[in-house]
Amino acid sequence: MRNPCLRICKRVLFVPIIAAALFASLAYSLAAPPSQPVRPRLAVLVVFDQMRADYLSRWQSLFGDGGIRRLQTEGAWFQNCNYPYAYTVTAPGHASILTGCSPDRHGIIDNDWYEREAGTQVSCVASERYQRVPPAGSNATGRRSAQEGASPERLMAPTIGDVLKETTGGRARVVSLSFKDRSAVLPAGQHPDACYWFSGRGAEAITSTYCRDHVHPWVADFNQAHQADQWFRKEWTRLRPDLDYARYSGPDDVAGEGNGSGQGRVFPHPFGTADTSKPSSSYYGALYNSPFGNEVLLNLVERAIDGEHLGAQDTPDLLCVSFSSNDAIGHCYGPDSQEVLDVTLRSDLIVRDLLNYLDTKVGKGRYVLALTADHGVCPLPEVARAQGKDAGRILPSTWPKQADSFLKETFARKEDKSKWIEAFSPPWIYLNKPALRQQGLKEEEVEKALAGWLVKQPGMQSAYTRTQLQGELPKDDSVGRAVQRSFYPARSGEVAGVMKPYFFLWGTMTGTTHGSPHPYDTHVPLLVYGPGISGGARDEAVTPQAIAAIFADSLGIPKPAKAEAPLPATLQTAH
Ligand SMILES: [Zn+2]
């Protein structure tokens, strides 16, 4: 039997409770400063491999409302964000962002470098101690090291992920995903829960025994679904056939553009040769060199958010995503190409879809997201020359021999048969120190002579010696100081060169690259979106390494131990 009194009592009690709550909130809003934003439950790093800052303004009118433009207006848009070090390539970029420092501190000076003790070239994340997971199939050919794993052991600085793990007693989840191994391994740090990249052939998501012995169920499902095969026998056409691409970028067919993986210089770009019955390595090469490589990764990212329940705990999690196809396309067709315009427009859709997914799964206002790039890119020399600039590709294959002869002549040791140039891993030249000692020569003098020779080579602007880099450089030598931030004594050589703007070392007659201290390589996007961050453009000079401080501030954790980039002054959160 229902009790009428209880109903009445409820009503009677309910009214004062509402009144008290209203009064309390009114009193709070009158007396207290604006409420503190809720701490995010998830920090998301989005890297587009090779994206220049000028793309965001040049093509802003072409973006939709829900993607990059949402970050430009609702988030902080830093328009003056530059890498502070000289050699702007993928691994140093990915190592810098979440350690908050430069190669002089974290030690990742390049994608690979010469390791003096081993007497060989090493790749930044390659590790013979670990194997790839799952193992390459028995028909795996190609690299001898097809089964080799990857690890962050050469990264000499902790990341935000490492700090998060430490401060939460390991409860925070750290997930990092990319097409490239180095771009997944380096942002994550030493303790990822899930770290995946794609095998060269087959576009299968793989990890390393450094992380775990078998893939997560959501990765097994992803590989089983053959996500990467859906474009077989299709073509890459323009996203916006209604748009005059030539007006926003340049002509489609330009001298100096590459051919990709048999894709040709003009739209539409086919995927692989038509005569194969199933996707071949040529197909996967073409997929990587198209915007759809990013779509494959986005699918894996969504599975990771679900599978790892990212942003669902009380402790915050970290998700790092690096989209690699922009880099392949930019190298092949150059920054002024219709292909780069197209992949940038499609990247806008990737950002939109990722934001929508995070809104749904984690909740609006419950995540902080930073978008940046690991480097920019130089125009094709043919395009730069058409604009009246001095530009060119320089093939340095004969340099070590020439340098060796020059030094022996200079020091009157022509009869010495030993090689004085031990290795050339651009931009670094490594001297054979025992050979010089045997000749009774001072390293410093040989370095100086070598730098004098190097700076006279085609396309060179300047050269620095180890002795110079270990000392004080003039305050106004901004390039030299940038080289110092790329210099890690145990891994760098004795002399490093800097090319003139619009020149680069390159082995083929087509395509372009990055890796210089010039603005087209250092100037990258930085967009930061999350609770407590007010929207709009900023002209404050910052570096991408500021993301480490931004995430630390937002999550309420200490900055990584070697971080040096401060929290941007225009980004004061209310924690
Ligand atoms: Zn890169």
pLDDT tens digits, residue range 433-477? Answer: 999 999 999 999 999 999 999 999 999 999 999 999 999 999 999
Taking ligand 1, which is a single-atom ion, which protein residues have CB atoms under 5 Å away? 49, 90, 327, 374
Per-residue burial over 369-400, b if 16 or more Cβ lie within 10 Å, else e, is bbbbbbbbbbbbbbbbbbeeeebbbbebeebb
Rounded CA separation 513/290 (Å): 17
The per-residue pLDDT for 1 is: 36
Both 220 and 94 in one domain: the answer is yes
CA 9 to ligand 1 center in whole angstroms: 67
Residue type, 12: V
Per the domain annotation, does 17 fall within a domain? no
Calculate the alpha carbon distances from 541 to 81, 176, 258, 360 in Å.
Answer: 6, 28, 35, 34
| Residue 442: domain span | 392-505
Calculate the alpha carbon distances from 82 to 335, 361, 551 in Å.
Answer: 18, 33, 18
CA 67 to ligand 1 center in whole angstroms: 22
- Count structural domains, the chain: 2
Q: In the sheet that 76-78 helps form, which strands lie side by side, from edge to edge?
A: 148-150, 126-133, 205-208, 194-198, 174-178, 317-323, 42-48, 367-373, 526-529, 76-78, 536-538
The per-residue pLDDT for 278 is: 86
Rounded CA separation 423/114 (Å): 7
In this structure, how many other beta carbons lie within 10 angstroms of the beta carbon of residue 475?
7
CA 66 to ligand 1 center in whole angstroms: 26
CA 408 to ligand 1 center in whole angstroms: 38
**For 330, what's the count of Cα atoms within 13 Å in the CB-facing half-sphere?**
23
Per the domain annotation, does 312 fall within a domain? yes
Burial of 307 (0-12, 13-18, 19+ CB in 10 A): middle
Both 457 and 500 in one domain: the answer is yes
For residue range 545-568, list pLDDT tens digits in order. 999 999 999 999 999 999 999 999
CA 89 to ligand 1 center in whole angstroms: 5
Per the domain annotation, does 13 fall within a domain? no
CA 438 to ligand 1 center in whole angstroms: 41
CA 83 to ligand 1 center in whole angstroms: 13
Q: How many residues does the chain have?
A: 575
Best CA proximity match to 194, nearest among 179, 170, 215: 215
- Name beta bridge partners: 319: 44, 175
**pLDDT band, residue 317 (cuts 50/70/90):** very high
* Contact of 431 with 446, CB cutoff 8 Å: yes
128 — phi, psi (to 5°)?
-75, -15
The per-residue pLDDT for 529 is: 98
Mean pLDDT of the chain: 92
Rounded CA separation 564/32 (Å): 34
Out of 24-38, 231-245, 469-483, least confident range: 24-38
Both 179 and 328 in one domain: the answer is yes
The per-residue pLDDT for 12 is: 37
Rounded CA separation 295/300 (Å): 9
Higher pLDDT, 163 or 140: 163
Residue type, 563: A
Is the pLDDT confidence value at 239 over 60? Answer: yes
Per-residue burial over 484-504, b if 16 or more Cβ lie within 10 Å, else e, is bbbbbeebbbbbbbbbbbbbb
CA 385 to ligand 1 center in whole angstroms: 25
Is the pLDDT confidence value at 193 over 60? Answer: yes
CA 378 to ligand 1 center in whole angstroms: 13
Per the domain annotation, does 230 fall within a domain? yes
CA 555 to ligand 1 center in whole angstroms: 27
Rounded CA separation 308/175 (Å): 8
Both 263 and 132 in one domain: the answer is yes
Per the domain annotation, does 7 fall within a domain? no
- The pTM for the full model equals 0.92
The per-residue pLDDT for 23 is: 39
The per-residue pLDDT for 227 is: 87
CA 102 to ligand 1 center in whole angstroms: 15
CA 484 to ligand 1 center in whole angstroms: 21
The per-residue pLDDT for 11 is: 37
The per-residue pLDDT for 24 is: 38
Out of 128-142, 363-377, 379-393, least confident range: 128-142
Both 322 and 437 in one domain: the answer is no
CA 287 to ligand 1 center in whole angstroms: 17
CA 91 to ligand 1 center in whole angstroms: 7
CA 398 to ligand 1 center in whole angstroms: 27
Tell me the two tokens of residue 333: 């067709």
The per-residue pLDDT for 136 is: 85
**Which DSSP string corresponds to 85-123?**
SS---HHHHHHHHTTTS-HHHH---SSEEEETTTTEEEE
CA 338 to ligand 1 center in whole angstroms: 20
Q: In the sheet that 421-425 helps form, which strands lie side by side, from edge to edge?
A: 421-425, 428-431, 495-499, 460-465
CA 286 to ligand 1 center in whole angstroms: 18
Both 444 and 399 in one domain: the answer is yes
In this structure, how many other beta carbons lie within 10 angstroms of the beta carbon of residue 469?
21
CA 516 to ligand 1 center in whole angstroms: 13
Both 168 and 260 in one domain: the answer is yes
Burial of 364 (0-12, 13-18, 19+ CB in 10 A): exposed
CA 214 to ligand 1 center in whole angstroms: 28
Both 343 and 410 in one domain: the answer is no
Tell me the two tokens of residue 94: 């990915």
What element of type H or E holds 425? strand 421-425
CA 126 to ligand 1 center in whole angstroms: 17
Apex CA 35: angle with CA 570 and CA 24, to 5°? 165
CA 375 to ligand 1 center in whole angstroms: 6
Per the domain annotation, does 418 fall within a domain? yes
* Contact of 430 with 493, CB cutoff 8 Å: yes
CA 1 to ligand 1 center in whole angstroms: 73
Task: Give the mean model confidence (pLDDT) for residues 135-154.
Answer: 75
Task: Give the mean model confidence (pLDDT) for residues 65-86.
Answer: 98
Higher pLDDT, 323 or 38: 323
CA 50 to ligand 1 center in whole angstroms: 5
Q: Is 302 helix (H, G, I), strand (E, B) or coil?
A: helix
Q: What is the 3-state secondary structure (H, E, C) of 351-412?
A: HHHHHHHHHHHCCCCCEEEEEEECCCCCCCHHHHHHCCCCCEEECCCCHHHHHHHHHHHHCC
Tell me, what CATH number does 401's domain have?
3.30.1360.150
Out of 81-90, 402-411, 563-572, least confident range: 563-572
Out of 142-156, 367-381, 385-399, 552-566, least confident range: 142-156
The per-residue pLDDT for 4 is: 36
Tell me the two tokens of residue 324: 């690699």
Per the domain annotation, does 304 fall within a domain? yes
Task: Give the mean model confidence (pLDDT) for residues 375-381.
Answer: 98
Both 208 and 165 in one domain: the answer is yes
For residue range 403-422, list pLDDT tens digits in order. 999 999 999 999 999 999 99
The per-residue pLDDT for 357 is: 98
Is the pLDDT confidence value at 92 over 70? Answer: yes
CA 323 to ligand 1 center in whole angstroms: 9
**pLDDT band, residue 281 (cuts 50/70/90):** confident
Best CA proximity match to 313, nearest among 323, 324, 321, 305: 305
The per-residue pLDDT for 17 is: 39
Calculate the alpha carbon distances from 364 to 232, 356, 548 in Å.
Answer: 36, 9, 22
CA 326 to ligand 1 center in whole angstroms: 9
For residue range 332-361, list pLDDT tens digits in order. 999 999 999 999 999 999 999 999 999 999
Both 270 and 298 in one domain: the answer is yes
**pLDDT band, residue 29 (cuts 50/70/90):** very low
Calculate the alpha carbon distances from 292 to 62, 239, 264 in Å.
Answer: 20, 12, 17
CA 322 to ligand 1 center in whole angstroms: 9
CA 90 to ligand 1 center in whole angstroms: 3
76 — phi, psi (to 5°)?
-85, 125
Which among 458, 477, 505 is the end of a domain? 505
Both 211 and 334 in one domain: the answer is yes
The per-residue pLDDT for 275 is: 62
Which among 451, 477, 505 is the end of a domain? 505
Tell me, what CATH number does 273's domain have?
3.40.720.10
Cis bond leading into 268, ω under 30°? Answer: yes
The per-residue pLDDT for 263 is: 94
Rounded CA separation 519/479 (Å): 11
Burial of 33 (0-12, 13-18, 19+ CB in 10 A): exposed
Both 328 and 261 in one domain: the answer is yes
Tell me the two tokens of residue 443: 């390293």
Q: Is 533 helix (H, G, I), strand (E, B) or coil?
A: coil
CA 321 to ligand 1 center in whole angstroms: 13
Best CA proximity match to 92, nearest among 524, 497, 431, 392: 524
Per the domain annotation, does 34 fall within a domain? no
The per-residue pLDDT for 241 is: 96
For residue range 478-523, list pLDDT tens digits in order. 999 999 999 999 999 999 999 999 999 999 999 999 999 999 999 9
Q: Is 150 helix (H, G, I), strand (E, B) or coil?
A: strand
Per-residue burial over 200-223, b if 16 or more Cβ lie within 10 Å, else e, is bbbbbbbbbbbbeeebbebbeebb
The per-residue pLDDT for 200 is: 72
